[in-house]
Amino acid sequence: MHLKGAALIAVLLGLLFIPGFSALATSVDRMAITNLEGFPGKTIEQEITLEGTDPGERSGFWYTYYKKTAGDNDRMDITSWITIEPKDFTIKQGETKAFTITVKIPRSAGEGLWGATSSAAGQEGHSAERRTYIVFKDAQDEGNVYSGLLIPISVNVLKSPNQLAPMINFVMSNIMTVGLAIIIVVLLAILLLKKKK
């Protein structure tokens, strides 16, 4: 009997975090922000929107969260890279509010996936692969019963581009023109040297 009661409580608690479930008083337009791409030292910005669905006004806030799991390496916790603005909010029924998520990739970040163990972490049924989250929580004004949602976030850090790549690409795409220019310069130099003699 205890097992059935515990299972029922677990299911009911789980339903609080299912998107679109009527117990959620604030809805969100994105359930995952995974596989963002950027170079070391660069900044990524994403927008996320909340909509008030509760008859009363609700007050809340955003924060970052790392789900520590045995065997994790330092690539799993990217909470220090992330800020959400504005952090605090109030929202009324029918009102939508946009928030900016800023991810600053450190210059020292190595190539590859950060914040999750798999690129599939944003998909349904892959919660075990998620490590870093942004979270919003809110409650009715002057209330202390919060509801909210964990939204997984991950970044695919790309290999730093070669600084000479634009010049190399220009030369390769204009090889004939560059070759002719070099020949003309050499011929002019020969003519000038002959005139001086």
Over the stretch 77-101, which tens digit does the pLDDT of each residue have? Answer: 999 999 999 999 999 999 999 999 9
pLDDT tens string 43-61 = 999 999 999 998 889 999 9
- How large is the average pLDDT for residues 110-118? 95
CA gap 107, 194 in Å, rounded: 54
Q: What is the distance between the alpha carbons of residues 35 and 167, in angstroms, rounded to a whole number?
A: 30
- The domain defined by 25-157 carries CATH number 2.60.40.10: yes
Task: Indicate whether this model's pTM tops 0.75.
Answer: no
What does the buried/exposed string (b/e) look like for 87-124 if buried means 16 or more CB atoms within 10 Å of the residue's CB?
eebebeeeeeeebebebbbeeebeeebbbbbeeebbee
Cα-trace Rg, the chain: 27
- What confidence score (pLDDT) does residue 90 get? 93
Domain ranges of the chain: 25-157
